Amino acid sequence: MNSPNRRPLSLDGLRAFEAVARRLSFSAAADELHLTQSAISRQIKSLEGEAGAQLFNRGTRKVELTAAGDLLRQAVVPALDGIDRSVRQIRVAQGRRAVSLSTFASFATLWLLPRLAGFQQQHPDIDIRISATDVRVDMDDPEVDVALRYDAASAVPPEAERMFGEVLTPAASPWLVQQAASGQTPPLRGPADLAGHALLEEDDHHPSAANLSWLRWLALQGHTGLTPRRWIYLNYTHQQVQAALAGQGIALARMALVHEQLTRGELVEPFGLSGRVPAPSSYWLIPLPGARLRPELRDFIAWVRGEAAITRAALGDTPGDVPVDAPPASL
């Protein structure tokens, strides 16, 4: 029984702590848990109050665990794993069917989650567990059934199925393009005009970042060395998309992930078809070797295949047209 002077620790707070401790980033933890950064900060502050110790050293450029934080991490990680495992076992015992998948955060946010309601309507009795992480999934993880990843063809296992390829295109809010057309901001008629605008750039340490960068796109367009009015660096593709929608700059968008926004006119391509550049990697569906092909998993894989076919058709994707101008990169 809890003593009168000690409240039980919040499970949400412990999950927030585990995510920050693993990612060493409040913003990355917020994206993973689909919360605001301020909500994560409040949960950590409350947990520090309960623990009576500072759990993180918060610097301007990085976050580090304190000794107290590392001690708590060693206890929290296996405890949460055990809780999650027990809940899944209970669900199975109660006849609940579930599919567990691993993917990266931007793909989950921009492609998977907007479509998932369709699967849930078709299969209301199947629970979905999404682990959104940019860390390569352990192919022997018994807790994961299927992975949806972004990788080069040479880097995926033989059982991987190509969903669709990658095409990059400059994308901006209609408001920003209209401002440029009316002369209220610098022009935006061709790639050279990007020197007068803010560019939203990928800012992480994954090898794929080079293939998704403005520097590569500018070089392919013959504008090596162009410097924009300013750079705005963001860790995740979905952050770049949100910034572009808000008119904060021009994103180098991944068409597979923003096709709906382009179709609805929420984003526009200032340079049209001439701005589109293929990238060397593709999106893959990878059933994990240890996953037993249960009926619910077959249903989910069939649904993903169907949604991927719709995306391929919308993009005019040709599976054989995979550029090879860059080394393998993965997310």
How far is the C-alpha of 275 from the C-alpha of 169, rounded, in Å?
5
Secondary structure in 3-state letters for 231-245: EEEECCHHHHHHHHH
How far is the C-alpha of 108 from the C-alpha of 99, rounded, in Å?
15
Sign of the CA dihedral with 210 first, then 211, 214, and 220 last:
positive
How far is the C-alpha of 203 from the C-alpha of 234, rounded, in Å?
5
Q: What is the pLDDT of residue 137?
A: 61
Question: What are the tens digits of pLDDT across the range 164-205?
Answer: 999 999 999 999 999 999 999 999 999 999 999 999 998 766
The pairing of beta strand 63-65 with beta strand 56-58: antiparallel
How far is the C-alpha of 330 from the C-alpha of 207, rounded, in Å?
7
Q: Which residues, listed in sequence order, are joined to residue 167 by a DSSP beta bridge? A: 278
Domain boundaries, the chain: 11-90, 96-331
Predicted TM-score (pTM) above 0.85: no
pLDDT tens digits in sequence order for the chain, 331 residues long: 444 445 667 888 899 999 999 989 898 888 888 788 888 999 999 999 988 999 999 876 789 999 999 999 999 988 988 887 777 667 665 666 889 899 998 999 999 999 999 999 999 989 999 988 776 666 666 678 899 999 989 888 888 999 999 999 999 999 999 999 999 999 999 999 999 999 999 876 666 678 899 999 999 999 999 999 999 999 889 999 999 999 999 999 999 999 999 999 999 999 999 999 999 999 999 988 766 678 899 999 999 999 999 999 999 886 554 443 433 334 4
Phi, psi of 274 (to 5 degrees): -70, -20
Q: Structure tokens of 103? A: 């993917």
Of the candidate CATH numbers 3.40.190.290, 3.40.1390.10, 1.10.357.10, 3.20.20.240, the domain formed by 96-331 belongs to 3.40.190.290
Of the candidate CATH numbers 1.20.1300.10, 1.10.10.10, 3.30.1490.20, 2.60.120.10, the domain formed by 11-90 belongs to 1.10.10.10
